[in-house]
A and B are shown apart, each in its own frame.
Chain A
């Protein structure tokens, strides 16, 4: 009896391992910067159309939680993440060994929105004494950079007792503070601008100040990981190195993004709406998930289809853009020294695309 049961267990075990060997997918967790929405369309497409699987990856897309993506990846709860460059660089300066792998959005979509009636015409001149709504968890840096660039102090600076600008933090929904509590509110071109319009403040009533136009072009959604993951010799026992996994992830992601941007309507219908619930629906008169996400997809496509992407170098962090971001952050005192060279690693991107970073012109 005993002998037979051992044989049975062995047989079942062998069958199971055979089956998994056939699939042989590497489990990867990718931490998104926010809740599922068209902002991450390329990743959903890569997952649902099997681009990740074709690369041998079984990718789980994690929606945002309490912590910033860097905290999640740093703690090991996710292997890769998407975040913004200012967040990444400041974390690196504070000793968190995060590494930039690929730049998805080539342009900043960060804006500050004000009612026309507040009479704010020129951000720098008219900011003093105003309240500005900002999101916490590393999303406040573009606004901070703007304040500093204009020579203004803010309540985000723990070393200033009487700040020129009051930064009001709130849980992301602009309706909480705008326009009653703050004169200016943070808004992404692809999300909150439309939400604010839904609240009854459309283009005729508000001014949208794109920070990229003010010289604050801090790049946003990018793929990063930690040095620990990157230097893994045997990633989760898959036989692949961390770099190989990163390269495959980048390859599939770029594939997904290219497809999403080329097939926007289908992407929204099939790969965004089924995965996003209440967080997709916009606000007020524009509280309609499909309408809001279609609009978001179009806006996000503008951020993706810019810069390097237009030259066929999707996912490439243009060195000049990177240096501009670093310079800006250093000038504003947000960074105190240049990030170490290891902060950006082109290796996986080069492996994914077959291009060489130094060939960029």
Chain B
């Protein structure tokens, strides 16, 4: 063991110790203050600060350990520890200052509420994610793809429609939500329509670029094969557009969740994550609001991850994955 090695291992040892002490301090305070209704003393607040510093310092020292790994779970450890540190510190601070739950609920309160109301939130999520976001997403993306195909094929459509698609894809369609809810009604289809419109334009613009940003030589090549229009799309334009399509699909997952949730703010039939967030925010039930946000985030991330995974499978050849 060289001195350098010893320094590194010594550092890790110290880091874990600091990390442990920091977490210990924070947890000790949380337990001690569990049933208190008075704000903590300055000394105790100082201890929380020390605990947080200990955790951060320790984390900084041990993070190096997880850099050179191919195991994603191990590689994720520092990020997980950071999240844990932030959550535990927030819990301690909220308790120390006795922040009312009607303003900011403690993480523990949010988690216990999440468990308590999970059935209703899952029902809400079904309405918001499956009926509104997913249906709207599938419809909007398919229509977008179809439109892009037509626009790329017929020049007069390109001249007439594409400028509007480009324009619409850069304005916040969510602003249309109140109008659409009023037009179509408060049931889930109005939100699905909002989602469909939101994802439609980026899909058109992206797919069109993918279909048309084909090298002229490739087109000559297809012509030299005496390939017809359909074959040209089948063998050249569509595969070329695939990375562009996936970009729009990924962007669409986020837009779809936003569209569905925000759409519910303008009217809902008693269900949905947006409905729940709006009702509970209005009555200061922020533990439920946060629970709903957690559910929405987890679903949103999973959905994005699924599309990204598909993208990797289908367009692994693309520059972005080399």
Contact = CB atoms under 8 A, between A and B. Distances in A.
Given A136-B282, A138-B283, A161-B119, A171 B270 contact: no
Given A90-B283, A158-B280, A161-B119, A171 B268 contact: no
A170 B276 CA distance: 13
A154 B120 CA distance: 12
A95 to B, nearest CB: 2
A181 B189 CA distance: 13
Interface string A85-100: 0010011011111000
A6 B268 CA distance: 63
A144 to B, nearest CB: 9
B120 A159 contact: yes
Contact of B100 (A90, A94, A137, A167): A94
B175 to A, nearest CB: 14
A163 interface: yes
A337 to B, nearest CB: 12
Highest count of chain B CB atoms <10 Å: which of A140, A155, A167, A176: A155
A131 B270 contact: yes
A170 B267 contact: yes
A181 B269 contact: yes
B266 interface: yes
Interface stretch (B21-29, B180-188, B304-312): B180-188
Contacts of A7: none
A160 to B, nearest CB: 7
B123 interface: yes
B121 interface: yes
A154 B187 CA distance: 17
A96 B267 contact: no
Contacts of B303: none
A139 B279 CA distance: 10
B198 interface: no
A323 interface: no
Interface string B268-291: 111100011011101111101000
A154 B279 CA distance: 13
B182 A176 contact: yes
Contact of A180 (B117, B185, B284): B185
Contact of B121 (A97, A156, A158): A158
Nearest to B120: A158
Q: Is the interface of A mostly helix, strand, loop or mixed?
A: loop
Interface in B79-117: 99-103, 116-117
A155 B127 CA distance: 13
Interface string A76-87: 000000000001
A163 B270 contact: yes
Interface string A138-166: 11110000000000001110111101001
Contacts of B182: 171, 176
B116 A159 contact: yes
Contacts of B178: 171
Contacts of A180: 185
A169 interface: yes
Contacts of A183: none
B194 to A, nearest CB: 14
A298 interface: no
Interface residues of B, number: 34
A177 interface: yes
B60 to A, nearest CB: 35
Nearest to B123: A161
Contacts of B116: 159
Given A95-B102, A136-B279, A90 B284 contact: yes
Nearest to B292: A158
Interface in A179-207: 180-181
A300 to B, nearest CB: 23
A34 to B, nearest CB: 14
A160 B269 CA distance: 15
Contacts of B282: 68, 136-140
B270 A155 contact: yes
B27 to A, nearest CB: 24
A158 B288 contact: yes
Contacts of A168: 186, 267-270
Contact of B270 (A137, A141, A169): A169
Given A94-B100, A137-B282, A155 B271 contact: yes
A140 B100 contact: no
A96 B276 CA distance: 20
Contacts of B279: 136, 140, 156, 169
A48 B265 CA distance: 35
A141 B279 CA distance: 11
A95 B103 contact: yes
Interface in B130-178: 178
A344 B288 CA distance: 28
B29 to A, nearest CB: 20
Interface string A116-151: 000000000000000100001111110000000000
A141 B282 CA distance: 11
A91 B102 contact: yes
A141 B181 CA distance: 24
A156 to B, nearest CB: 6
A93 B284 CA distance: 10
Contact of B276 (A91, A94, A139, A158): A158
Nearest to A159: B117
Contacts of A167: 270
B176 to A, nearest CB: 14
Contacts of A170: 181, 186, 266-268
Contacts of A176: 181-182, 185-186, 267
A177 B266 CA distance: 12
Contacts of A155: 270-271
6 contacts: A95-B102, A138-B283, A161-B120, A168-B186, A170-B186, A177-B186
Q: Which 9 A-B pairs have the closest CB atoms?
A: A95-B100, A94-B102, A137-B282, A155-B270, A170-B267, A94-B284, A166-B270, A158-B117, A95-B102
Given A74-B103, A94-B286, 5 more contacts: A94-B102, A160-B120, A168-B269, A176-B182, A176-B267
